[in-house]
Structure 1
Amino acid sequence: MMTSSIASPARPLPNRIPPEILCAQDYELLAPRCMELPSHDYIAGGCGRDTTVAANRSAFARWAIYPRLLRDLTTGHTRVTIAGKGYAHPVFLAPVAFQKLVHPLGELETARAAQVMDSCMVSSTLSSVRLEEIAAAAGPDRWFQLYFQPAQEGTRDLVKRAEDAGYGAIVVTLDATIQIPSMRALRSGFRMPRDCVAVNLRDETPAASAPLGSGQSRIFQGVMRTAPTWRDLEWLLTQTRLPVWVKGVLHPEDAIALQSMGVTGVVVSNHGGRSLDGAPASLDALPAIRAAVGASFPLLLDSGIRSGADIFKALALGANAVLIGRLQLYALSVAGALGVAHMIRLLLEELEVCMALAGCATVPDIRPDALIGHHIPVDHGHSPC
């Protein structure tokens, strides 16, 4: 991660919803006005040339929703049950690092929004607020996202802290061992501000980097030296009483292996296009993974969601719930906790409209036959609504 000795500039706390916000994706349009350009380019970009970022959005445009007639929707709702636990709705907040980049209170504001909207918040290892403070502000449905640390003691400590703080699950990210900044962020000159740090890791002592030998690769023998393996995941499953999810799954064979190991569920994800540039869209990978693991194994999906219609499509293709990433930061930058809560409310209302017009009274009613493969031109105008 790039760093700088320059502190981020003071910004007034946003405390109102701009009248221009008419749908959830409008937060994406207003966000550039509310954050520094390099920070915006870092958040909006993925890695490399942003090929996978574009693929994530295009994947949703290849599906259309069938309207259905004369259905009784008066008992409709969006409640879901995942891994035996009930949730008010299937809109979760993805683990997004360094939220003080866009708001002085960072993850605390997001946690307050999650509590108000009964949304499960997944807190990042790389949060800019301590995981204990986030837990105190969030609602009862809160999970902790884990990155393996170079030493087992560091990983074990994070897991114990999450357990003690009352998090309900561990979500271990496995697809981001190497993160290459996007060309967009590099060209903007992005540097992480001095006051935006991974506070959960402040007490950790970085592992010493062994020098490379002659002819050794700084990737294979360097960066990947401390990358987790299947043995590390097996070890993690013995270290916690909490359900363990794995985030960053795109291949059906990996999903089958994880299911066999006993993980609670997986998140079909390409890290929002921030890991391997050129990886398939998460939505494109979802149907094959659902077919591989069967109907009852829990699957979540992230990457590319901008509307309730996108959520409907993800649910139809096999997801039990979705995680919202970039929209979360855009809304936080525009209107703080109020903006994040409003963004969730808009997504839910958009989802409910799709469900009603598609004749689906409940989330389990949303099945693959609700969709038809069809290319819908992406609107590049001033309003996505």
Structure 2
Amino acid sequence: MPDTGLARQSTVYRAGTLGRRPAVPCDFAELERLAKRASSAEAWAYVAGGAGEGRTMRRNREAFDRWAIVPRMAAGAVDRDLSVELLGARLPSPLLLAPVGAGALMGRDSDLAIAAGAAATGTPYILSNQGCNPMEECAAAMGGTPRWFQLYWSKDERLVDSLIARAERIGAGALVVTLDTTVLGWRPQDLNLGSLPFAKGLGIAQYTSDPVFQEIVAERAGQPRERPRITLGAIRTLLAMSRNHPGRFWANLRSPIPRASVETFLDIYSNPGLSWEHLATLKRRTALPVVLKGILDPDDARRALEIGVDAIVVSNHGGRQVDNAIAALDALVRVREAVGPEPVLLFDSGVRTGADVFTAVALGADAVLLGRPHLYGFALAGAHGVAEVIRNVLAELDLTMALSGARTIAEITRERLRETGR
């Protein structure tokens, strides 16, 4: 069970009497400000940036502001139970860590640190397909803490099957297929810097550690290729590729494999032709529960359930893919109304605080994925920073439940909210 909000407050205040302030701020605005200060321009553009003019990112937050919690008094909510049943497992809270790609922009071994921070709090982590550490190493860092695996559907079906098989071997509790990134969205912050982490070998560790991908790369490495024009930027990129590729730096620098790996990844990592026919094959390709991430339309949600998926993540990728898209929270309301109370719905995009988790659960989410905040915690204090962000979010959720009269997650219903009309 997560620490109660009162215990978390006591820990922070007791440290304060000794002159110690939290290394990781307890409010999102300060967390974001300090994380930005600790990050390079390229890292911040990729992690904090959004699609186009940023309207979807703003809309995600505005949607939360349109709902207000209505506290109920004298409910006797002395003890709260934050645990939930999800896909056959009992979890300590309705919070999971969302997959984040290229996290090493914010610090080395990002996925290992996030895995360790998640394990320290018993929080499930959805390992990223675009991670910077192989899934096997992350699973080892998590011990018995639940982990899921995110899958981007490659153009190579052999690679799809290989990634699924590896997810099964590491004991993943579910396979989370991201639907909304068959191509990268228009991201001006990255484009203005000419910065794509994958082009330097960051965020492709699941691929370079995969035997099928290695076979594909070996086939391509021996083929004639155009020699790049030698510039200072090209030399820096080659050095970055060699540093980020598994193995010894000097051996990588002399080898064609690091560059061939990057080029191969960029060619095949995601499939623009992904269709419902592809997705319908999953139930015979794996025994893992299948979760589809990126659903925003009720008709897509119904279609997903028709092909037998086990859960849906209502998400607009944190506003990173389509500018001027519907707010994910608004989509959650519509999808829940369309599919009814039984299907398992998860939610992400715009979640910053424990009060946000409360609101999303009240509007129909069975669980909530936390994205950027935990990566900001990592930027400030590594694995400890990740754990601190989780503890703060869960503490606020627990205190919000106490002050609103909800003793269990099941008691957080839509009746506890009012639309503000904003």
The structure 2 residue matched to 1:256, chosen from 302, 314, 335, is 302
What are structure 1's unaligned runs of at least 5 residues? 1-15, 209-221, 377-385
Query: Are 1:186 and 2:188 matched, yes or no?
Result: no
Sequence identity percentage: 39
* Inter-CA distance 21–374: structure 2 relative to 1 (3 Å threshold): same
CA distance in 1, matches of 2:305, 2:185: 29
Aligned match of 1:334: 380
Asked whether the equivalents of residues 17 and 335 of structure 1 are also in contact (C-alpha less than 8 Å), the reply is: no
How far did residue 197 of structure 1 move?
A: 3.7
178-187 vs 20-29, which moves further = 20-29
Alignment of 1:151-300 (within 5 A): 151-192=156-197, 194=200, 196-202=202-208, 203=210, 204=213, 205=216, 226-300=272-346
Asked whether the equivalents of residues 60 and 310 of structure 1 are also in contact (C-alpha less than 8 Å), the reply is: yes
Asked whether the equivalents of residues 256 and 293 of structure 1 are also in contact (C-alpha less than 8 Å), the reply is: yes
String of CA shifts for 1:62-97, please: whole Å, max 9, x gaps: 111001111011231211112332100011000111
How far did residue 195 of structure 1 move?
A: 5.3
Asked whether the equivalents of residues 98 and 197 of structure 1 are also in contact (C-alpha less than 8 Å), the reply is: yes
Query: Are 1:22 and 2:13 matched, yes or no?
Result: no
| Paired residue secondary structure (2:148) | strand
Aligned match of 1:93: 97
Asked whether the equivalents of residues 154 and 270 of structure 2 are also in contact (C-alpha less than 8 Å), the reply is: no
What are structure 2's unaligned runs of at least 5 residues? 1-19, 221-267
CA distance in 1, matches of 2:201, 2:297: 38
| Paired residue secondary structure (1:48) | coil
Asked whether the equivalents of residues 183 and 272 of structure 2 are also in contact (C-alpha less than 8 Å), the reply is: no
Asked whether the equivalents of residues 101 and 203 of structure 2 are also in contact (C-alpha less than 8 Å), the reply is: no
* Inter-CA distance 267–86: structure 2 relative to 1 (3 Å threshold): same
Asked whether the equivalents of residues 24 and 377 of structure 2 are also in contact (C-alpha less than 8 Å), the reply is: no
Alignment of 1:309-324 (within 5 A): 309-324=355-370
The structure 2 residue matched to 1:60, chosen from 57, 64, 74, is 64
* Inter-CA distance 357–148: structure 2 relative to 1 (3 Å threshold): same
How far did residue 103 of structure 1 move?
A: 1.4
The structure 1 residue matched to 2:405, chosen from 344, 354, 359, is 359
| Paired residue secondary structure (2:202) | coil
366-375 vs 261-270, which moves further = 366-375
How far did residue 35 of structure 1 move?
A: 1.0
284-293 vs 341-350, which moves further = 284-293
Asked whether the equivalents of residues 328 and 349 of structure 2 are also in contact (C-alpha less than 8 Å), the reply is: yes
How far did residue 371 of structure 1 move?
A: 0.7
The structure 2 residue matched to 1:49, chosen from 45, 49, 53, is 53
How far did residue 116 of structure 1 move?
A: 1.0
Moved runs in structure 1, 4+ residues, more than 4 A? 16-20, 222-226
How far did residue 121 of structure 1 move?
A: 0.3
Asked whether the equivalents of residues 121 and 390 of structure 2 are also in contact (C-alpha less than 8 Å), the reply is: yes
| Paired residue secondary structure (1:238) | helix
The two structures have a TM-score, normalised by structure 1, of: 0.86
| Paired residue secondary structure (1:248) | strand
CA distance in 2, matches of 1:298, 1:369: 20
Asked whether the equivalents of residues 38 and 189 of structure 1 are also in contact (C-alpha less than 8 Å), the reply is: no
CA distance in 2, matches of 1:191, 1:286: 31
The answer to which structure has the higher helix fraction is 2
Aligned match of 1:104: 108
CA distance in 1, matches of 2:123, 2:30: 20
336-345 vs 177-186, which moves further = 177-186
CA distance in 1, matches of 2:24, 2:345: 34
Question: Partner amino acid for 2:204?
Answer: A
Question: Partner amino acid for 1:286?
Answer: L
CA distance in 1, matches of 2:377, 2:390: 9
* Larger-Rg structure: 2
Aligned match of 2:264: none
Question: Partner amino acid for 1:121?
Answer: Y
How far did residue 241 of structure 1 move?
A: 0.8
Alignment: residue pair count: 348
Asked whether the equivalents of residues 24 and 347 of structure 1 are also in contact (C-alpha less than 8 Å), the reply is: no
String of CA shifts for 1:185-241, please: whole Å, max 9, x gaps: 323443427352411112523799xxxxxxxxxxxxx99975211111111221001
